[in-house]
Structure 1
Amino acid sequence: MRFALSEDQKLLVDSVGKALAALSPLERVRRFADRREATAPDLWAGLAELGLPGLLIPEAYGGLGLGLLEAALAAEALGAAVAPSPFLGTAVLAPLALTLAGSEAQKAKWLPKLASGEALAGVAIAEAVAGSRDGAGIEAADGKLSGKALFVLDGLAADLLIVADRRGGLHLVETPPKATPMDSIDATRRLSEIEFRDTPATPLASNSALERLRDAAWVILAAETLGAGQAMLDKAVAYAKERRQFGRVIGSFQAVKHLCAEMAAELEPARALVWYAAYAFDHAPEESTVLAAHAKAHLSEIGRFVARTSTEVHGGIGMTDLLGLHYWFKRIGQNRQLLGGPERVREIAARAQGLVGA
């Protein structure tokens, strides 16, 4: 059994990392956040040249036909760069929904456009996965949707929508209603609210597709947090090697060494958890829900610890906009709650294992 990445997977990680260094430096991230842009088309076009939008799309539709592990590796790199990218909705959840539950006509129409980066897909599953709030929730009847969806992924510039109703059914909306931006702590990932008023929609076929989308989303969010946490650790170590106090670099102080070591000790085993959860999604689906839930919940806790500790190592300057450390801090914070906080996710994992009643 192989417990390491293949040469192709290592090449993917290297290629995406180098591309993001050029396409999404901190100045580009800051401009996106400050201007509240709906999308970053220059970034997405560059990632499309690498084939990132088509990672999970079958080769017959113009994609690469890879698995969730490859998508998680890309998400890890995107988290490390805190890139403002529509990856989760457009490149992961929408292709999975269409592949699992779409008709041949729907696949032929939309998958090639998604694979090329030509089309963007919004995904509205938050209420069905994480529970409804503020009167939100979608009702489906007679081929139409009504209600309000919150925390819609990639909805502001979407060419199509994947929407979950209150009963867990999935629907394809090919003429999306106008989305309203939602404020959140992370300005690098734009969430939105969409009101449906007898909006025409086509039901997707599979009753289990929503659970598969949920599991994939949890793994990708955990991978993003892993990448963001590693970036914050790297920044803390680099700063500790440069910052001097009392005539010494602060990295020579035992207390600072311990802080950096504790972050590394938490992150390293978390990497194996995330990678195996992504692998199991495709190769051990009977384990997928429990592993995805554990990855999401555990990285939510580890990410928060690393974000706080890295900021402490930086001292007062870590709280300023000068370093931009807050972009990683906020991405980790949003990932913690998006599509279910750790408490809810652990409850779902417990139910899946029969430890608590439904």
Structure 2
Amino acid sequence: MGIGITREQRELADAVRGWAARAVPPEDRRKLLDAVPGPAGRPAWWADLATQGLFGPQLPEEHRGGGGELLDLAVVLEETGRAGLPGPYLPSALAAELLHRGGQPDLVRAVAAGERIAAVALEADAVTAVEGAEGYVLDGTAPPVLGGGDADLLLLAAETATGTVWLAADAGTAGLTVRVPPGADPTRPAAEVTASGAPVPADRLVAVDAALVRDLAGTLFAAEACGIAAWALHTATEYAAVREQFGRPVGQFQAVKHLCAEMLVRLEQARALAWDAARSMDEAPEVRGLVSALATATALEAAFTCTKDCIQILGGIGFTWEHDAHLYLRRATVARQLLGGPAGHRQRAARYGAAGARRALRTELPAGAEP
């Protein structure tokens, strides 16, 4: 069962799972392992995603979206994560939501329609911008941009004299260089984006802040991580039921039973938190930040540990080139690299929780009393 709780969302999950199995069979995904590092180009199935409205099931209909809620996108992402969908779907869907919240309706429509591929630089401290009469001039190198090699629209954070701004830059802008080095996940590589006097028009300013980008990215990556963990659990339990050792299926051994049970517990915890995080994106920033931090920490760690445990139950064959388990471990590892390990997210959640407790305590104390 996915993180969606309504019948319609379960049907959506089933539809996406069936589409992914037909459109991207495992052999197509594995061809990317031997590809030369660099832009892969627009996937053959990209138009199918747009036709089905999967780039923005949560976006308003006037923006070519499905008119649903963010939880609908989370449901889709869990299934694309379970399918190990290659290509920049997650980065583009994240960019579409940020462009929508940041007041760029024309760009939202282009991304939601599949006409443009977008990607987001998740860090905000490596590029500087000088503001002029006609816009901004960018200099510096952004952190790894997931899916940036295939994107023609890049959401970049830049430091100005007055603070951080987020800008939607065309990948073909003069002075903007996009390079795709070898990476841990060849099915969805990250790009290095370097700006050297790259101009961005003033009307490409995206009205979001770093906290929103972090919370929204963490929530969507958490939803995908649930799909990765679900694949690992399913693969491990299916194998444990048929692999025999000493005349018995290995799934009958207590150690294997416990490991599979622990994987299930981690997955269900991650799903519950990812669902709550998707529901909280329109709440107050401190509430949104708390729930998103918990979901990011729990789900990304569940994906990483479940794929490792899956390989253990497989008897190590998941480390071999021929089995897909290493692809899911690669994807889980890259997510942790991009967003950070669980400790930092839990510390952030603790700070939000402590601040909320102090505010609640102040409201209960007599006037003038110190908490």
Q: What TM-score do you get using the length of structure 1 for normalisation?
A: 0.88
- More displaced stretch, 295-304 vs 267-276: 295-304
Cα-to-partner distance string for 1:58-114 (whole Å, 9 max, x where unaligned) = 21122213222111111111111111132222122x222322223xxx423x22221
Structure 2 counterpart of 1:118, from 115, 119, 144: 115
The equivalent of 2:341 in structure 1 is 341
Structure 1 counterpart of 2:76, from 74, 77, 95: 74
SS at match of 1:315: coil
Which amino acid is 2:232 matched to? M
Which amino acid is 1:312 matched to? Q
The equivalent of 2:287 in structure 1 is 287
How far did 1:308 drift? 1.6
The equivalent of 1:141 in structure 2 is 131
2:92–2:111: 8 Å Cα contact kept in structure 1? yes
In structure 2, stretches of 5+ residues that fail to align are: 357-371
The equivalent of 1:157 in structure 2 is 150
2:53–2:64: 8 Å Cα contact kept in structure 1? no
The equivalent of 2:96 in structure 1 is 95
1:277–1:288: 8 Å Cα contact kept in structure 2? yes
- More displaced stretch, 151-160 vs 114-123: 151-160
How far did 1:209 drift? 3.5
2:98–2:208: 8 Å Cα contact kept in structure 1? no
How far did 1:199 drift? 0.9
SS at match of 1:145: strand
How far did 1:50 drift? 1.6
Runs of 4+ in 1 over 6 A off after TM superposition: none
Q: Supply the RMSD in Å over aligned alpha carbons.
A: 2.3
**1:225 lines up with 2:222 in the alignment:** no
Distance across 2 between alignment mates of 1:354 and 1:200 = 42
Change (3 A) 1:248 1:353: closer
How far did 1:39 drift? 4.2
Cα-to-partner distance string for 1:269-292 (whole Å, 9 max, x where unaligned) = 221111111111135655111111
Change (3 A) 1:206 1:23: closer
Cα-to-partner distance string for 1:163-195 (whole Å, 9 max, x where unaligned) = 111333111213443310133322222100111
The equivalent of 2:169 in structure 1 is 173
Distance across 1 between alignment mates of 2:42 and 2:314 = 30
Distance across 1 between alignment mates of 2:88 and 2:269 = 28
SS at match of 2:48: helix
- Aligned sequence identity (%): 36
2:4–2:71: 8 Å Cα contact kept in structure 1? no
1:151–1:182: 8 Å Cα contact kept in structure 2? no
2:88–2:150: 8 Å Cα contact kept in structure 1? no
Distance across 2 between alignment mates of 1:289 and 1:39 = 35
Distance across 2 between alignment mates of 1:74 and 1:344 = 27
The equivalent of 2:200 in structure 1 is 201
1:122–1:162: 8 Å Cα contact kept in structure 2? yes
Which amino acid is 1:64 matched to? G
The equivalent of 1:107 in structure 2 is 105
Structure 2 counterpart of 1:50, from 45, 52, 56: 52
Change (3 A) 1:137 1:205: closer
Change (3 A) 1:208 1:316: closer
Distance across 1 between alignment mates of 2:97 and 2:201 = 16
How far did 1:33 drift? 3.0
2:137–2:197: 8 Å Cα contact kept in structure 1? yes
Cα-to-partner distance string for 1:301-340 (whole Å, 9 max, x where unaligned) = 2222212211110013222122211001111111122133
Distance across 1 between alignment mates of 2:99 and 2:299 = 28
SS at match of 1:54: coil
For this pair of structures, how many residues does the alignment match? 342
Which amino acid is 1:98 matched to? L
Change (3 A) 1:194 1:206: closer
How far did 1:159 drift? 2.0
Distance across 1 between alignment mates of 2:50 and 2:155 = 21
Which amino acid is 1:170 matched to? W
Change (3 A) 1:346 1:183: farther
**1:182 lines up with 2:181 in the alignment:** yes
The equivalent of 2:368 in structure 1 is none
The equivalent of 1:238 in structure 2 is 238
Cα-to-partner distance string for 1:327-357 (whole Å, 9 max, x where unaligned) = 011111111221333233233334434559x
1:148–1:195: 8 Å Cα contact kept in structure 2? yes
Which amino acid is 1:141 matched to? E
The equivalent of 1:252 in structure 2 is 252
